[in-house]
């Protein structure tokens, strides 16, 4: 009986490892097929528009042999990859950048935006669904922004990282209205100083990206609406409002771009709130 039990246990272990390895191999093969389909679509978009297409798509995907979802956002590695791609494109070649991101780290976002701004050929940024926060900063570098009518941009008011989470710089500057300086902790005073600096920096970034294509009045309206905290950081800026504040938006997103986004599916078991 013991021998039979041992054999049964070995069989179960073998089946388990076979299933695990099979799942891993199937996942890798499936991801390679999707990547191939994505590349073919990017090539088709570029041929259709006579442009070089770059993507900055951060979508939660089920990856790895355990099928775990990985959340993505703008990081330093994105700047390295996108800026390198821009550098390799001839000066007179139009660039089409497809952006789908919740935002992320400010420095790489601005690096990408500046590289796009400095490109001599036309830069078109497509927003099929959303480009929030740092994604919006990148969008501002475009000569033309092509948004779906239901797509959204978002405020780019800078956030200061603290042990209690990210705090809006514009809100930190309001603290003296409610507390006397003598009642403030030294940390709050330092945060106040940092908030002033980062807001000034963000205004400079936005002016560099938009002012030569816009009047100073329009640039200031964009800064006031997107940088200076008139709304919360997750406020959705839809097509109509983007147009109203002076952004160069149109709404004719090519069908091939929607097909491309279909190849970035969300995990099937993702909970819905």
* pLDDT score at 10: 62
Domains and CATH numbers, the chain: 2-154+236-262 (3.90.226)
**Nearest C-alpha neighbor of 55 from the set 117, 114, 111, 127:** 127
* pLDDT score at 187: 87
Alpha-helix runs per DSSP H in 119-250: 134-139, 169-172, 186-210, 216-226, 239-244
* pLDDT score at 271: 45
* pLDDT score at 69: 46
Helix (H) or strand (E) holding 49: helix 2-49
* pLDDT score at 39: 86
Tokens of 114: 């500046």
* pLDDT score at 14: 65
Q: CA–CA distance from 200 to each of 14, 43, 152 (Å)? A: 62, 40, 25
pLDDT digits (tens, 9 = 90+) for 220-230: 999 999 999 78
Gap between the Cα atoms of 152 and 220, Å rounded? 21
Gap between the Cα atoms of 74 and 24, Å rounded? 27
Tens of each residue's pLDDT in the chain, 273 residues: 556 655 566 656 666 666 656 555 555 555 676 677 888 998 999 999 999 999 999 875 554 444 444 558 888 988 999 999 999 999 999 999 999 999 999 999 999 999 999 999 999 999 999 999 999 999 999 999 999 999 999 999 999 988 778 899 999 999 899 888 888 888 888 999 999 999 999 999 999 999 876 788 899 999 999 999 789 999 999 999 999 999 999 999 999 999 999 988 765 554 443
């Amino acid at each position: 009986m013991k021998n039979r039990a041992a054999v049964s246990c070995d069989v179960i272990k073998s089946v388990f490892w076979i299933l695990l390895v099979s799942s891993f191999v199937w996942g890798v093969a499936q991801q390679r097929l999707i990547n191939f389909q994505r590349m073919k679509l990017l090539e088709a978009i570029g041929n259709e528009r006579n442009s070089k297409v770059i993507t900055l798509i951060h979508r939660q995907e089920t990856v790895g042999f355990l099928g775990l979802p990985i959340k993505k956002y703008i990081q330093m590695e994105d700047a390295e990859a996108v800026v390198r791609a821009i550098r390799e494109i001839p000066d007179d070649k139009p660039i089409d950048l497809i952006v789908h991101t919740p935002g992320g780290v400010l420095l790489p976002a601005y690096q990408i935006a500046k590289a796009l701004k400095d490109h001599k050929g036309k830069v078109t940024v497509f927003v099929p669904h959303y480009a929030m926060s740092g994604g919006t900063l990148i969008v501002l570098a475009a000569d033309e922004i092509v948004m779906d009518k239901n797509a959204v941009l978002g405020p780019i008011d800078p956030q200061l990282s603290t042990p209690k989470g990210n705090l809006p710089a514009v809100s930190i500057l309001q603290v003296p209205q409610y507390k006397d300086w003598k009642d403030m902790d030294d940390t709050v005073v330092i945060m106040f100083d940092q908030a002033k600096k980062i807001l000034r920096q963000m205004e400079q970034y936005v002016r560099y990206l938009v002012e030569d294509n816009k009047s100073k009045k329009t640039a200031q309206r964009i800064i006031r609406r997107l940088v200076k905290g008139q709304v919360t950081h997750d406020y959705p800026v839809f097509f109509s409002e983007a147009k109203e504040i002076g952004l160069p938006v149109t709404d004719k997103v090519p069908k091939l771009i929607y097909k491309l986004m279909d190849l970035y599916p969300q995990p099937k078991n993702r909970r819905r709130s």
